[in-house]
Structure 1
């Protein structure tokens, strides 16, 4: 009888205090998942230079405008094995939110003229071309932000801070377009450190710059985004905590380098996100990406 009573007490206890089930971590979005998303409507393909890879795809919302512009810079380890098309889903989704998007292509490592300095000069030229777009389309040449993913996050940060590049540098461009802010999605601001870390893009750094940090230190200095950028324009380093390609330390260290009252940079750490969740409109973290763009351009969601 005592045994039966004990069993009943145990049953009552577990009915009132059920064992807390271990919730499995959400499945991360992969590169393959991105490639299987429905193809979005294409934008208008526009050349910003004479080379066949110097073009962008412009998407403009319906309505009168002028619309604020998000310059979209794709990743892919700076290599020509990857192109701008995987960022079309993000671009189309942002355009539905009321933003014009300029998803750019450029010469990469493996392309004639790609690498240092061509990749950087192409990105600079494409960003500055927004001025020309504003003369021919209902988009703003003043309400502009840059957004890049992975290696494109590095290029977005670099492009926004080009005013710091000296005239003697091969990366110098005159009168760079002033942007309202930068959103780096799993970006790689510290090239020298990243080249020695674990991840899938590490060996590509030396291919991009033509050598190691000790062999061509002046190239690393010119191609690495300056932390002084964070004192001049808002920067959001959006990073997935479960990213296997870019360490969280890349975002944290970049923001901390310019720590202080005038620092306009923040880390947006997403605990259950990986590398590609940040660019997939089907991802649970997508609303955070949209909110970050809205913060930069001060535009309410439609």
Structure 2
């Protein structure tokens, strides 16, 4: 069994219950879900009417050190979900004393979990982060942590206020996990078998700057780009080139190159994950 399947199976038992709860809620009220282990609690909060418009808030037993917004990847496609890919990280973060907001969003296509693309997916991520202003959680420190396509959205979210989206809850730090940070380069390389074109609805150009982190430099907050050197899904150059250009533009950006593949950065048992916890230790 490969790592992708293992991570998807970790939370598959709870996915149906959570999606059902969010789909049935009509009053934007939290829906209680089974309590995770180790004193961590979880509640689900819809930010829209679509079943994919929700976030799951994981809280540690003590006062949180800060808040991490977990944004899952999967080339923006509906077969990849927050419960399958983000929940293990959110639980691990809460176990380390962080509040974690495992954010779901509409992905590309007409299947269950779809309805997204540009700009709908961006609208969802902005609304999902802003909902935190209405919850009982401190938003002084807000770190977006995103993998692959989620890394793209994590970096984008930190600049969203400059490009026409609401920013009630500003992002203060970004950790990109093998992020798709340059949409034009990703499309030219054919990543995800045309995933960028499917997401935008056309080949990316300079007219898509409001969607593309590589065209939004310099970012106003620090960003760490954590990437496996043997990544065959999103090449390391997506992070190395972004960091080089970010620094040249005057931004605070750091490349964190790790041994391993595309999924090592979201494996809570890996050295790459331990390194990310160390980065969070420098924040709060």
Please give the residue correspondences for 1:130-141 in structure 2 after superposition, counting only pairs within 5 Å. Answer: 130-133=132-135, 137=136, 139-141=137-139
| CA shift for structure 1 position 257 | 1.1
| CA shift for structure 1 position 177 | 2.4
Q: Take 1:261 and 1:157, find their aligned partners in 2: how far apart are those partners?
A: 15
- The answer for the alignment partner of 2:92 in structure 1 is 93
- The answer for the alignment partner of 2:261 in structure 1 is 274
Q: Take 2:52 and 2:216, find their aligned partners in 1: how far apart are those partners?
A: 31
SS at match of 1:259: helix
Q: Take 1:293 and 1:227, find their aligned partners in 2: how far apart are those partners?
A: 26
SS at match of 2:171: coil
Q: Take 1:209 and 1:227, find their aligned partners in 2: how far apart are those partners?
A: 15
SS at match of 2:115: coil
| CA shift for structure 1 position 293 | 2.0
Query: Are the counterparts in 1 of residues 149 and 179 from structure 2 also a CA contact under 8 Å?
Result: yes
SS at match of 1:91: helix
- The answer for the alignment partner of 1:129 in structure 2 is 131
Q: Take 2:277 and 2:72, find their aligned partners in 1: how far apart are those partners?
A: 17
Q: What CA deviation, in whole Å up to 9, does each residue of 1:257-289 have, x standing for no partner?
A: 13249431010001x221111111122322101
* Larger of the two Rg values belongs to structure: 1
175, 179, 198: which one pairs with 1:187?
179
Q: Take 2:268 and 2:116, find their aligned partners in 1: how far apart are those partners?
A: 30
Q: Take 2:66 and 2:102, find their aligned partners in 1: how far apart are those partners?
A: 14
| CA shift for structure 1 position 174 | 3.1
- Hey, which bits of structure 1, 4+ residues long, moved more than 6 A? none
Unaligned runs of 5+ in 2: 15-35
Q: What CA deviation, in whole Å up to 9, does each residue of 1:65-114 have, x standing for no partner?
A: 35411001000110111111121111101101100000011111014631
Q: Take 2:219 and 2:51, find their aligned partners in 1: how far apart are those partners?
A: 36
| CA shift for structure 1 position 51 | 1.9
Please give the residue correspondences for 1:100-119 in structure 2 after superposition, counting only pairs within 5 Å. Answer: 100-111=99-110, 113-119=115-121
Flag the structure with more relative contact order, 1 or 2, with Cα contacts below 8 A and sequence separation at least 6. 1
Root mean square deviation, CA, Å: 2.2
**TM-score, normalised via structure 1 length:** 0.78
- The answer for the alignment partner of 2:3 in structure 1 is 30
Query: Are the counterparts in 1 of residues 148 and 234 from structure 2 also a CA contact under 8 Å?
Result: yes
Please give the residue correspondences for 1:229-248 in structure 2 after superposition, counting only pairs within 5 Å. Answer: 229-248=217-236
